[in-house]
Structure 1
Amino acid sequence: MKTTVAAIDFGTSKIVTLVAENSGSQRCDITAAGVTKYDGYLEEGWNNPGALDEAIRRSIADAEEQSGSKIKEINVGVPGAFTHVYATKVTIPLKGTDPRVTAADVKAAFSKAAENLTNVPGVVVHSSPAWFMVDSGKKTLEPVGMKGREMTAFISFAVGNRFFIDDVTNRMADLGIVVTGFYSTSAGEAMLYLNEQERDHTSVLIDMGYLNTEIIGVEGDAIIYHKVLDVGGGNLAVALAEELDISLSAAEDIKRKFVYGIETSGETYEVPGADGQKGTVFTREQVKPVLCTELDDICAKIKEAVDDDFGGLGSWSNVFLTGGGLNFNRGGKEYLAGRLGRPVQETPRRTTKLNSHCFSSALGLMDLIIDTIEQQRQPAAGASGKIKDFFRSLLGG
């Protein structure tokens, strides 16, 4: 049976509406992508709320035109800036004469962990386990059937900001569209781009966008650390515009062309003049100190978050970079690695369509939605079922 799924992702500089088909022959075939630039948001809210409805409408209309169908229902990704992550440990006793972990015990652990969120404002949009441990044994994501006296679980919850959820629901209703679910964009992105081995070793995904940088620490199937910095690729362009006294669009063009770590003698950047006037030429010597000083500041904030705030990386852990804020620059990933003092890898290409880093969050969102739909179609697994599928059936949406 073929299912058509629509999802909308709110980035800091663009809104992306995806339409995908899920069938037995193909898990996720993206048939449309409506992309609209807009003014984005900061942690406090929308930068230009008055223009948001039109931006949403254009993005959805573009996707409808490409897919040839009207979108009446849509799934919404909750961005990292409107998300708080809470990771909590709980322990439950195992009962019976021959106590072994059952599916009911796993559900009980999730329920007990959820009690720790009683006074937390917002809406839980995702929940997932980092690990389970029976007695003092090894960490595992498949504890069902294991024998012991007690089970400890480390469970993560992504809680969406109530303002964002209510505001988007109302805006969609005004367009005649029903929101069928809210999903954690951060969780979807992390699960899509970090494979099981990377997550088992605890890894970090850095998504540098235009207005913010999201740092996601992942273990098992869960986000165990999450921080959003209010700096991104846009800060580099603003610094150039102010220092060189040029327009933001001209500064953005120079920023994208700049190559980090490779010195080229005589390299110049031309800004065309207005109304036929002669353009202005800037040398690398004028541009480099502005960009590098600003990027050094961003890198310092990322390093503080990864090394000091999180501090959960071991010798086998890896750091990955995605997003359009720095990845488009040659040498950008290596420059960040030098400032962090550890290797930084580029996230792998998971799709043939929209495989640019600037679409990572949208693709991660759609992958999480499809995964959730597939698991909801299957009966919950027990001790003899597919344990991984059982855990995934507990994920939010």
Structure 2
Amino acid sequence: MNEYVVGIDIGSSKVCAAAGKLDKHGKIQITGITSVPCNGVKRGIVVDIDSTAVGIKNCIEQLERMIDSKITEAYISIPAEICELTLNRGVVAVSSEDREIKKNDVERVLKAAKIIAIPSDKEIIGVIPEQFIVDGYDNITDPIGMCGLRLEVDAQIILCQSTVISNIFKSIKKAGINASGMVFQPLANAMAVLNNEEMKIGALLLDIGGETTNITVFNGNRLIYKDMLPIGGNAIANDISLCLKLPLSEAEKLKIKYGRVIVPNEASGEDFKIKINANYDNVVEVDYSLLIQIISARIEEILCLVKKKLSVNECLDKVSGIVVVGGGIALTKGSIELCKSIMDKPARAGTPEYVGAASPIYSTAVGVVKDVIDSGKVDLTQSTAQESHHKKNDSKSAWQEQDEELYSEENNDGILSKIKGFFTDFF
């Protein structure tokens, strides 16, 4: 399995997994991707370890058949809704005699930033540097190679409840997979669907899942705001089930097959009857116009709540564009146009630019793979060179995972890779 990197996204309604490797040109290639239903997770928290483990196992088995290789290790995305961010500053003295800042100094200052009082039921799972400060000069993105006496970092510390993380890893282990590390979900999505220009001028990353809607705002290449709504795509199926007196399973089928959104100033369109089989083989007729009204009302409510949160926290003006990822809402016809209308901002569906993985539902799994490979967390260049006799890959990462030995890899010398997420590896 050294040839592949596997990323797993455990959601409230499904488990997605992606496998990637480097091609002969040193570029990332997604060789397999799949998803299976899973109902063992609610709002990012594992509520049924057995059910979650079965979903993960089924997903991995499908992926193994796609890539024709046995999978024993994977990297996991950590949902944003179970994490919280807190700001802290780390300060160290430059250790070298010539006062040149080296990787070891950056490692020490990041560890110093993690020295913070936290509740006994929580633990630090990662740190995201915002800026480095050398002898009082701030807004430094890459301090390595500079001269100075004092190195500081302003960082966001990622905290999570210990029991929640433990249950996630128990589910992974029960599925027969060793968790090699983890990636913060908003950063994985950003890796997969946002470009450098969007990260700089301001972007709202809207991850609408089954049970939750995660709101993340990036500006100036920094994560400046994170929030969550306890409502997602599953609420639409519930609305259809209640309003039309249908079983929830049939409501979900209707949502997927006929779902669309009424866009403002758009013609009402064709109205017709939909015949479906309800309980006890009873045939029920559903008005199409009523169905899309139900779907539109719920999606509009979600988007209005997002706008309200951004306005209250004074983040709406910092957003220049909106990227929607996640489950079925991002793929629902008319939802992006409705988002543009409500937010009064440009919007698009976030799709990874890889063959076979160009869907918003795969953004997190693909982002995990991309982050791990780009950050140098694993070294795939040796096996790639043996197969293709190509030069060693020199690709650089916008976000970087951290384990107990930060900056231990030799290919971590990209400017962006020094300033992004460094995640703690428990293993």
- What TM-score range do you get, normalising by the shorter chain? 0.7 to 0.9
The residue that corresponds to 2:291 in the other structure is 287
Q: Is the 8 A contact 1:191 1:221 kept in 2?
A: no
Quick one: distance in 2 between partners of 1:14 and 1:126? Answer: 25
Paired residues of 2:4 and 2:21 also in contact (CA < 8 A): yes
Secondary structure of the residue aligned to 1:182 is: strand
Which amino acid counterpart does residue 359 of structure 1 have in structure 2?
A: Y
> What's the CA shift string for 1:213-237, capped at 9, x where partnerless?
1111224554332222211111122
Counterpart CA distance in 1 for 2:99 and 2:219 is 27
Code of the aligned partner of 1:247 = P
Q: How does 1:213-292 map to 2 (within 5 A)?
A: 213-219=213-219, 222-256=222-256, 257-261=259-263, 262-274=266-278, 277-284=282-289, 286-292=290-296
SS in 2 for 1:71: coil
- The corresponding residue for 1:158 is 158
SS of equivalent residue, structure 1 residue 258: coil
Q: CA, structure 1 residues 265+341, in 2 after alignment: closer, same or farther (shift >3 Å)?
A: closer
- Alpha-carbon distance in structure 1 between the residues aligned to 2:318 and 2:219: 14
The equivalent of 1:308 in structure 2 is 312
Tell me how far 1:162 sits from its aligned partner: 2.3
CA change 1:132–1:220 in 2 (3 A) is farther
2:79 equivalent to 1:79: yes
2:327 aligned partner:
324
Tell me if the contact between 1:187 and 1:222 (Cα under 8 Å) persists in the aligned partners: no
Q: Is structure 2 residue 410 aligned with structure 1 residue 379?
A: yes
Q: Which amino acid letter does the alignment assign opposite residue 267 of structure 1?
A: D
Q: Is the 8 A contact 1:84 1:158 kept in 2?
A: yes
Scaled by the length of structure 2, the TM-score of the pair is 0.78
Check conservation: 1:57, 1:175, Cα contact below 8 A. yes
Unaligned stretches of 5+ in structure 2?
380-395, 397-406
Partners of 1:260 and 1:331 within 8 A in 2: yes
What is residue 204 of structure 1 aligned with on the other side?
204
Identity of aligned residues (%): 20
> Which residue pairs with 1:338 in the alignment?
341
Alignment of 1:15-30 (within 5 A): 15-22=15-22, 25-30=25-30
What displacement does 1:104 show? Answer: 5.0
Q: Distance in 1 between matches of 2:22 and 2:43?
A: 34
Query: Structure 2: how far apart are the matches of 1:66 and 1:218?
Result: 35
C-alpha change, 1:86 and 1:42, in structure 2 (3 Å) is: farther
C-alpha displacement at 1:148, in angstroms?
7.3
1:142 aligns with 2:142: yes
Name the SS of the counterpart of 1:272 in structure 2.
Answer: strand
Q: C-alpha distance in 1, partners of 2:274/2:421? A: 54
1:127: which partner in 2?
127
TM-score (norm 1): 0.83
Structure-2 change in CA distance of 1:268 and 1:99 (3 Å)? farther
1:238 Cα deviation from its structure 2 partner = 1.0
1:14–1:40: 8 Å Cα contact kept in structure 2? Answer: no
* Higher-RCO chain (CA-CA 8 Å, sequence separation at least 6): 2
